[in-house]
């Protein structure tokens, strides 16, 4: 078993970009999307009861919410359900090198593509943030750490890769 050379600690900083343009109205915290495999219940002769089996490469509907301090030009550039949204979150993950105790940083890049399916204008309060948001239906997602692709799903083009391994390669050869 390989030993961890560094202890991941915090996301030191991050920014979100809309097709390459840095967005400035996004709040300081973004909850990342959840990916849930589609499953099928298996039961029958020779099986004691039933169990759920994940179906390779198939994920339920995935939503990504982007919160805004206040609604602004960036907000309205994302809300048309007819236009594709391409968001990139870039962050710096701070870590401590175990052997020396020195601080190090690695890059994190998360890409989401899809279309807006929900808008929330938030609340209006004197001297306070509005806390509006947009929610996109994710059809493509990519997670990179330190320049290495760790997770990629493209629902429209039939791509599902984990740690660089194409989980659908054999299925595509057979179909």
CATH topology of domain 6-174: Pnp Oxidase; Chain A (2.30.110)
Please identify which residue in the block is written with the tokens 């750490």.
Answer: 145
Q: Residue ranges per domain, the chain?
A: 6-174
| Number of neighbours of residue 38 by Cβ within 10 angstroms | 13
Categorize the per-residue pLDDT at 3 as very low, low, confident or very high, splitting at 50, 70 and 90.
Answer: low
pTM: 0.90
Summarised one tens digit per residue, pLDDT across range 70-96 is: 999 999 999 999 999 999 999 999 999
Rounded to a whole number, what is the largest CA-CA distance in the chain?
66
Please give the pLDDT value at position 20: 85
Q: Is the pLDDT assigned to residue 44 strictly greater than 50?
A: yes
Please give the pLDDT value at position 1: 46
Q: Which residues contact 43 (CB under 8 A, 6 or more apart)?
A: 49, 50, 51
The closest alpha carbon to 90, from 78, 103, 105, 107, belongs to 107
In Å, how far from its chain's centre is CA 136?
A: 11
């Amino acid at each position: 078993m390989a030993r961890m050379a560094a202890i991941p600690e915090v996301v030191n900083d991050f920014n979100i970009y809309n097709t390459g343009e840095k967005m400035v109205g996004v709040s300081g915290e973004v909850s990342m999307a959840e990916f849930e495999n589609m499953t099928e219940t298996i039961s029958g002769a020779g099986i004691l009861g039933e169990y759920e089996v994940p179906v390779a490469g198939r994920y339920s509907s995935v939503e990504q919410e982007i919160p805004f301090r206040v609604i602004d030009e960036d907000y309205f550039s994302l809300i048309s359900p007819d236009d594709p949204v391409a968001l990139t979150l870039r962050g710096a993950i701070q870590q401590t090198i175990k052997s020396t105790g020195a601080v190090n940083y690695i890059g994190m890049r998360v890409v989401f593509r899809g279309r807006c399916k929900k808008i929330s204008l938030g609340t209006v309060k004197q001297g306070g943030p509005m806390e509006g948001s947009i929610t996109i239906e994710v059809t493509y997602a990519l997670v990179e750490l330190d320049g290495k692709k760790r997770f990629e799903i493209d629902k429209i083009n039939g791509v599902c890769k984990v740690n660089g391994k194409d989980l659908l390669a054999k299925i595509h050869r057979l179909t």
